Structure 1
Amino acid sequence: MLGVVQRIVNDRARAEDIVHDAFIKIWSGAASFDATRGSARGWMFTVARHLALNSVRNRAREVSMDDDSDSDSHVQTTLEGWQEMGDAFDWRVNPGRVYTCLEQLEPVRRNCIFHAYVDGYSHQQIAQKLGAPLGTVKAWIKRSLASLRECIG
């Protein structure tokens, strides 16, 4: 298993961490294994492979910072530009508008929005929490955001 993960991530130490995480996930999710869908070994390798691929994806999103002074001056210039920019939203002028628009949503749809943007849940997690189909939750969130955009806009 370590060899497979190491080939994916190209880093021995990271591969060891991923395999460790895989074994924890396998141990805690052993009850979800279904022998009719394949062998235990195949399932275990699939868990490890998915964790390795997620690690590679997450690494690709990271931004590396150079120690160059040019980079530092660019970052400083950017930050100064952001500080000069005014608030793009005038929510302080009429804060009740946001609340009014949220109140117009059905409670279940409003909860989906809060779970996604306040709690940081994924669509899958929201669907599991509400016991609703994933597609339905995605549609609720999309339509609710459109309604909020129209109401606030």
Structure 2
Amino acid sequence: MAEITLRVNGVERSLSLDTRVSLLDLLREHLGLTGSKKGCDHGQCGACTVLIDGRRANACLALAVACDGLEITTVEGLADGEELHPLQAAFVECDAFQCGYCTPGQLCSAAGMLREPGPSAVTGDLTEDPALTAEEIRERMSGNLCRCGAYVNIVAAVHRVAAERAREVAGR
């Protein structure tokens, strides 16, 4: 057993738990935050994606004890009270989900991805920070699978938010 303290969606939580407990199981079974889904439990589908100190990670692969002292953001923590996160609103507007099982992981992954600068495997010029085209978004979101095949609308939703943020930055 280990004593850990982490900040989950802005709330400090202290727990005593087995050192083998994954972050996903801590969130779902110990804290009742069931937004992050247990898809494959092997880090292959991305349904459990959360943000750990602002960076996206598969919660099924992270040990809870390794997150001691860190900030964890789940899909439940993206919205600001009753106001949806821009990505959540765009997912609704673009109909970017069908069954919805992958949506929490897709949302957290997209939120983290939008903050990650630099090139990807499809970037032509590796010395530049490329615009987030549909091709870039597909590459950067490739760790999040959707069994329903809602990719076209997921990419459209993420692209909409990326374009809005780029306009805001340019307007400053």
TM over 0.5: no
Q: TM-score, normalised by structure 2?
A: 0.26
With a CA cutoff of 8 Å and minimum separation of 6, indicate the structure with the bigger relative contact order.
Answer: 2
Based on CA coordinates, which of the two structures has the bigger radius of gyration?
A: 1
Which structure dedicates a bigger proportion of its chain to helix? Answer: 1
Q: TM-score, normalised by structure 1?
A: 0.28
Structure with greater strand share of residues: 2
